[in-house]
Structure 1
Amino acid sequence: MSPSGPPVPPDLDRPHFIGIGGAGMSGIAKILAQRGARVAGSDAKDSETAQALRALGATVHIGHDAAHLAPDASAVVVSSAIRAQNPELVAARERGLPVVHRSDALAALMEGTVPIAVAGTHGKTTTTSMLAVALGTLGLDPSYAIGGDLDAPGSNAQHGGGGIFVAEADESDRSFHRYAPQVAVVLNVELDHHANYASLEEVYASFEEFVGKVLPGGTLVISSDQSGAVELTSRVRDIGGLRIVTVGEAEGADVRITRINPRGLTSEVSVLLDGRMLTFTVSVPGRHYAHNAVAALAAGIAAGAPARNLASALAKYTGVRRRLQLKGEAAGVQVIDSYAHHPTEMAADLAAIRQATGTGGTDGGPQAGRGRVLVVFQPHLFSRTKELGTEMGGALAAADASLVLDIYPAREDPLPGITSELIVDAARAAGADVTAVHDRDAAVDLVAGMAKPGDLVLTMGAGDVTDLGPLILARLAD
């Protein structure tokens, strides 16, 4: 394609990405390729994302080897998950190549635009996606970088010519401190990422630093309802030149949600803004997604988009992969995939599923007799399980039955004594029907054998549990 807009940043005209298939890394690689850079990289395994990058002209190697680093590479891009002994990183340092963290690469791409950075312990991907889709629907052609695919492989990022850049801002490793947004969004503030944050106070301090990076005259859009966000608002009110816009159901919110009306797998949302009532449709179920949409609305308005048109455009958002994504139906059983891995997210998605589909328990309650919610949950990270395992177990009590897989380690080494049994014990203590399953194939067989017509199976977690959805559907079909 013929690149337009801001030029390729220095040192990134011939970049090599280690872990190019990751959600954050692949988005930056895609934008650079669309701007005309000669992109290369490697990943542990082939994927649809790797194939989408190749279609843009990128060179993608499978496996990690020093030989994959091209002789004329201008820089190596890494994430916090890349270990120091990675052979490509070792080779880059030996050659004296610049090693660029992915957040610095993203910050460089945002220069020369109106940057919008969406932060929060959860909800970032959905809110960023909603705003990107709505701005695109209005013809504003934004650039965006999202931590998940919209509706096709590779759709997590786009180079646009409209001058607005919408980016997901990750607090997990404090990399969101690298951005200087014109509009910052903070959806919520909770303790997570325990390998990097020892206390909630550290989390507050980190978000304060992020808000402090907002450009003079810029806007902070922040929740009026979530307790952590309310506390953060009180801490940043005295930052000079910062305009604060609160959003939520609280009586004094600047953009106040007056009604959320569930309609099957959608919701109708009404908000009061500057004395005017706006009503629009959110095409995904659940109160938390309605709140995400209103935050996206406020952020887009702060960036100059017309309020009423933007509200209508939000209805064009149809979802992100792994965010309550319907994988299919077989033998009268729906299989839905959820990225939820924090207890708050787990509880919110389970509540949304019950409300949207009418599935419920067999305890004689209002949903009794209308099918069950069966969960296959995979804990993500040993550190998170250590600190939040009890709360995860409590969240699973909202399901009719759950299977809990072994912990997905991602970048972490095991911690002594920390296993998925911690979650299982907590769930049983909360009265849940839960079973520990240590073999993935056995989990597929077990949940398919449990499911009956009218039930719903929810695969849940941030690891590779998502791969089980198609296998469960195939087993149900058999």
Structure 2
Amino acid sequence: MDLNNIHRIYFVGIGGIGMSAIARFFNEKGVQVSGYDRTSTALTKQLEAEGMQIHYTDDISAIDKEVNLVVYTPAIPADHEELTWYRNNGYEVVKRSDVLQEITRSLFAITVAGTHGKTTISTMIAHILRHSGYGCNAFLGGISVNYEKNFWSSDKQVAVIEADEYDRSFLKLSPDIAVLTAMDADHLDIYGTAASLEEAFIQYTSNIKPNGTLIARFGLHKNSELKAPNKLLYSLQNDAADIYATNIRMDKGGYEFDVVQQDWLIDNVRLYIGGMHNVENAVAAIAVAHLLGISSAKIKEAVADFKGIKRRFEYVVKADNQIYIDDYAHHPEELKALISSARALFPGKKCVVLFQPHLFSRTRDFANGFAESLSLADEVILLPIYPARELPIEGVTSKIIADKITKAQVQLLSKEAALSWIENNPAALLITAGAGDIDQLKAPIKTILTDKDNKSS
């Protein structure tokens, strides 16, 4: 696959967050881009506005038959008619990860992997590189609030890539700098066991290029087995790590802190997004920037300007009497970090969490963990499970989480009933969380809360 000799390209599942970043990469190179997705979304409408041709029915008559390359996402069903036609008619058909593999081979690659935090850290790194003038091509798993995109290009032969562990696709990447954030059990429908997932992360670190560097979170279960020519360990505030934060102060829903690394100190770093876990994420991003030789002054300016990622501790409403946070959290550890950080930032406010479980298998495997994390709230509303790529599993519903929640009040509601409940039951600190389509509630909830605030004032 020679990326420089592609003139027409087709994406099956172009609206996915990872697929759309690659589509934008080719589009900005002047390649003719077209594709299919199941539904029209705000993101696909942006892609169309940028000049890409997209249709929304599985229809062989609508596809481009003059393309050099077809790219598909693993989320597409095996019996998809368009994908099958391309395969049966001799076209070069590759996974999204195959394209990223070629990009990491040809550019200086910074990849971020792990079961939590990879979207935030990769976006922070890419933002620091862009804001400082260093430059990079960014392939992200979320929409940067600063730039309203999940991809941007640069003449600099550097790529920042979110490395997705789903279906082992990240094992194709060859990074110069690899970040590893966490190895908690997840995607057990793919890996089978937590041990198998950990082995995949170990293999990820073994793919680092000669003389490359691994920046791994301090305290990972198998840190001693991670293979890399050079290794740095980062931490929130454990001074046994190579780089960590200290003197952390909470301020107006954000943080101020110093970052220490052996013979180097960057003081009074300001991060204006919430979540103590995001301070740790910033430490990892700062470690990468420092390794690249970016000055402390430019790092501080970039971090202070970082506005976050949509659906990652996103302040949808932020007022004295009302805080509304939306987050992608869909794993018990992510929920725990989200709720505990929000409560620490806004102590004394009644905390209501509206959560949509994602996948039947994940709900079954982590019901106890979800219940434990959600018990940190005062009240919990559970939506039905978002199935994504799965068929229902007998006996697995949101109720198996509800039955295990011990401290918070809990109820099972539909989306419509949840909106009605929010309208009639004010909560000073409201959180919506989940990786499904719960984000469709963000706009109507914002309207409810702001209308209520306008009426009260």
TM-score class, shorter: over 0.9
CA distance in 2, matches of 1:305, 1:165: 16
Q: Which residue of 2 aligns with 1:361?
A: none
Conserved in 2, the CA contact under 8 Å of 1:207 and 1:232?
no
Post-superposition CA distance 1:99-122 (Å, at most 9, x none): 110011122233432100001111
Q: Which amino acid aligns with 2:20?
A: S
Which among 310, 323, 343 is matched to residue 321 of structure 1?
310
Post-superposition CA distance 1:48-80 (Å, at most 9, x none): 211221232211112322222212022221111
CA distance in 2, matches of 1:85, 1:232: 39
Unaligned stretches of 5+ residues in structure 1: 1-6, 359-366
Instruction: Give the Å deviation of 1:377.
Output: 0.4
CA distance in 1, matches of 2:300, 2:323: 31
CA distance in 2, matches of 1:42, 1:373: 41
Q: Which moved more, 1:320-329 or 1:151-160?
A: 151-160
Q: How does 1:2-401 map to 2 (within 5 A)?
A: 9=3, 12-151=6-145, 155-225=149-219, 229=220, 231-236=221-226, 242-248=229-235, 249-279=237-267, 280-328=269-317, 332-358=321-347, 367=348, 371-401=349-379
Which among 405, 409, 434 is matched to residue 433 of structure 1?
409
Instruction: Give the Å deviation of 1:86.
Output: 1.1
Post-superposition CA distance 1:266-285 (Å, at most 9, x none): 11121212323212111212
CA distance in 2, matches of 1:217, 1:153: 33
Q: Which residue of 2 aligns with 1:3?
A: none
Are residues 207 and 307 of structure 1, via their aligned partners in 2, closer, same or farther at CA, if it must alter by over 3 Å?
farther
Q: Which residue of 2 aligns with 1:458?
A: 431
Are residues 20 and 233 of structure 1, via their aligned partners in 2, closer, same or farther at CA, if it must alter by over 3 Å?
same
Are residues 356 and 330 of structure 1, via their aligned partners in 2, closer, same or farther at CA, if it must alter by over 3 Å?
closer
CA distance in 2, matches of 1:475, 1:304: 47
Instruction: Give the Å deviation of 1:258.
Output: 2.3
Are residues 345 and 215 of structure 1, via their aligned partners in 2, closer, same or farther at CA, if it must alter by over 3 Å?
same
Instruction: Give the Å deviation of 1:300.
Output: 2.2
Q: Secondary structure at the match of 2:431?
A: strand
Conserved in 2, the CA contact under 8 Å of 1:42 and 1:64?
yes
Conserved in 2, the CA contact under 8 Å of 1:374 and 1:447?
no
> Cα RMSD over matched residues?
2.0
Post-superposition CA distance 1:188-235 (Å, at most 9, x none): 11100111122221111101110010000000001114xxx2x33201
CA distance in 2, matches of 1:153, 1:464: 23
Are residues 350 and 12 of structure 1, via their aligned partners in 2, closer, same or farther at CA, if it must alter by over 3 Å?
farther
CA distance in 1, matches of 2:86, 2:399: 41
Q: Secondary structure at the match of 1:337?
A: strand
CA distance in 2, matches of 1:211, 1:95: 37
Are residues 180 and 394 of structure 1, via their aligned partners in 2, closer, same or farther at CA, if it must alter by over 3 Å?
same
Q: Secondary structure at the match of 2:189?
A: coil
Conserved in 2, the CA contact under 8 Å of 1:445 and 1:472?
no
Are residues 183 and 163 of structure 1, via their aligned partners in 2, closer, same or farther at CA, if it must alter by over 3 Å?
same
Conserved in 2, the CA contact under 8 Å of 1:262 and 1:286?
no
Instruction: Give the Å deviation of 1:85.
Output: 0.9
CA distance in 2, matches of 1:197, 1:97: 30
Conserved in 1, the CA contact under 8 Å of 2:350 and 2:429?
yes
Conserved in 2, the CA contact under 8 Å of 1:383 and 1:415?
yes
Identity %: 32
CA distance in 2, matches of 1:413, 1:285: 35
Q: Which amino acid aligns with 2:174?
A: A
Q: Which amino acid aligns with 2:382?
A: V
Aligned length: 449
Post-superposition CA distance 1:352-388 (Å, at most 9, x none): 2112233xxxxxxxx2xxx311111000011110110
Q: Which residue of 1 aligns with 2:455?
A: none
CA distance in 2, matches of 1:88, 1:330: 48
Instruction: Give the Å deviation of 1:153.
Output: 8.3
Question: Please, what TM-score do these two structures have when normalized by structure 1?
Answer: 0.90
Post-superposition CA distance 1:399-451 (Å, at most 9, x none): 11111001001111111111111111111xx22201011x2111110122111
